[in-house]
Amino acid sequence: MTRRLAIGIDIGGTKVAGGVVDESGTITHRARRDTPHRSTSPSVVEDTIVDCVDELRTAVDPADIVAVGIGAAGFVAEDRATVLFAPHLSWRREPLRRQLAGRIPWPVIVENDANAAAWAERTFGVARDESHVVVITLGTGIGGALIIDGQVQRGRFGTAGEFGHMQVVPGGVRCECGNRGCWEQYASGNALVREARAMIGAGSPVVADLVGRLGGDVAALTGPVITEAAREGDPTARELIAEIGDWLGVGMANLAAAFDPGLFVVGGGVSAAGELLLGPAREAFRRQLPGRGYRPEARIERARLGPEAGLIGAAELARSGR
């Protein structure tokens, strides 16, 4: 019996991760490459994708492969073929599917990476039984995706779900998108590190333990370092994580007003803080929710599939043709 396998490729700022995914969402074989530097020409990134696919096709019977899905961190047009803009790569209106068509012998779809991760959680993860889902990915910034009536909502031009760039503080912190006060400037890995460095720069004694973890090298401070410290009981790290959680809850209350989901799924690297993040987020959500006390509240849960959700979802979207 022929298996209906699909290849998923997840393109991030630092790595290109690939996998052969079966119909149960299990990754049977993996490949990984470093992401070419952002100044590299688009063709080099495409070479990297093809290289991953070529490695994976040798690991299985190619006759079992039915499609290839590519998840890209950036704006993907409604045709699911063109990357309009990718902040970490040199893709600008790049006709990616066309460029790969002669080099990959299966149908190819291109998808926003957050949409792909959301579909993985909807199909195989924590959102399997929910028809209306908002997915928030907390990493360096904030990515997002929206599922309504069990379908990914991409928007008229393909760029829906960029929740990280909602303005939550008029005239606030400058964002890489060019605006000020975007949500991701207050509820992301970058925000977590910025606040910790501000405390260190101010000479606050409460960050002494955190600085000690770094051996005095403040440049080595990262979100995972703060998260690890918080999980090990460092009170200042826990306070910083809780502040991110507060802002997360505020933004989700705004999204609940707009979309009324039954479930928020929180993924990405910052979600490793678990309840240290989600507890404050739930409290802030309840405080800020319009009509609180008189309406059902969406659940807020941590994503289940981890960092491989993007490639699993890209593969499943390609296989199913959704």
| Closest to 165 in 3D by CA, of 189, 181, 152, 150 | 181
Are 134 and 269 found together in one domain? yes
Nearest to 210 by CA among 199, 17, 303, 156: 199
Same structural domain, 315 and 295: no
- Examine the domain organization and report whether 31 and 106 are in the same domain: yes
264 and 314 share a domain? no
Looking at the structure, tell me whether residues 96 and 191 fall in a common domain.
no
Question: Pairing between strand 108-112 and 65-72?
Answer: parallel
The pair phi, psi for residue 91, each rounded to 5°, is -75, 120
Residues 292 and 316 in one domain: no
Specify whether 200 is located in the same domain as 61: no
Q: Are residues 196 and 292 in the same domain?
A: yes
* pLDDT tens digits in sequence order for the chain, 322 residues long: 567 999 999 987 778 999 999 999 999 999 999 887 655 678 888 999 999 999 999 999 999 999 999 999 889 999 999 999 887 777 899 999 999 988 999 999 999 999 999 999 999 999 998 999 999 999 888 989 999 999 999 999 998 999 999 999 999 999 988 899 999 999 999 999 999 999 988 888 888 888 888 887 888 899 999 999 999 999 999 999 999 999 999 999 999 999 999 999 999 989 999 999 999 999 999 999 999 989 999 999 999 999 899 999 999 999 998 7
Instruction: Verify that 179 and 113 share a domain, yes or no.
Output: no
Cβ proximity of 66 and 56 under 8 Å: no
Please answer whether residues 254 and 225 qualify as being in contact, where contact means their C-beta atoms are separated by less than 8 angstroms. no
Clarify whether residues 133 and 118 are in a common domain: no
Domain span including residue 84: 5-123+308-320
Looking at the 3D structure of the chain, how many domains does it have?
A: 2
Q: Is residue 156 domain-shared with residue 278, that is, in the same domain?
A: yes
Q: Mark whether 30 and 154 lie in a shared domain.
A: no
Helices assigned H by DSSP within 105-231? 113-124, 189-201, 208-213, 223-231
E strand residue ranges, 35-159: 65-72, 75-76, 83-85, 92-94, 108-112, 133-138, 142-148, 151-152
CATH number at residue 25: 3.30.420.40
